[in-house]
Amino acid sequence: MAVTRTFSIIKPDATRRNLTGAVTKMLEDAGLRVVASKRIHMTREQAEGFYAVHKERPFFGELCDFMTSGPVVVQVLEGEDAVKRNRDIMGATNPKDASEGTIRKTYAESIEANSVHGSDSDENAKIEIEYFFKPEEIVG
């Protein structure tokens, strides 16, 4: 299995509850290595650009409100089959549907305030990493 990278966000509901370390530990315990990390407060423009694929969906406005409601931690994660590994430890979008032991089952508050984002493909991981990080900010 190839070592690849994915992009993660620890969302405002999790930073508000001081869960950055707890969430990161679950990512690390799942075999992912944090090779870049920074805490930022997303601008409206950044959030709308990041979620542009969802702009026709009914939850788009509220999602952008939520993602700009407090600090987030953006991270690049590295590991074997990183996209799938991260999606597996994140759990389903709606915490009600998420499996036991996943980040969302453990910490998410709702389908919107669901504690973490993770890229859904290698192609999107590359785009999302480049959206937030310069190459020199990633130290593998």
Which of 62, 71, 67 lies closest to 46 in space, CA to CA? 67
CA-based end-to-end distance of the chain: 18
Q: Rank residues 78 and 109 by Cβ distance to ligand UDP and give the closer one.
A: 109
Judged by CB under 6 A, does residue 112 bind ligand UDP? yes
Stretch that binds ligand UDP, among 1-9, 68-76, 111-119, 129-137 (CB under 6 A): 111-119
> According to the annotation, is 50 in a ligand binding site?
no
Cβ-based neighbours of 45, under 8 Å, separated by 6 or more: none
> According to the annotation, is 11 in a ligand binding site?
yes
Applying the rule CB under 6 A, the residues between 55 and 94 that interact with ligand UDP are 59, 63, 93
| H-assigned helices in 1-140 | 12-16, 20-29, 44-50, 60-67, 82-90, 103-107, 122-132
Judged by CB under 6 A, does residue 124 bind ligand UDP? no
* Site residues (vs ligand UDP, CB under 6 A): 59, 63, 93, 111-112, 114, 117, 120
Catalytic center residues: 117
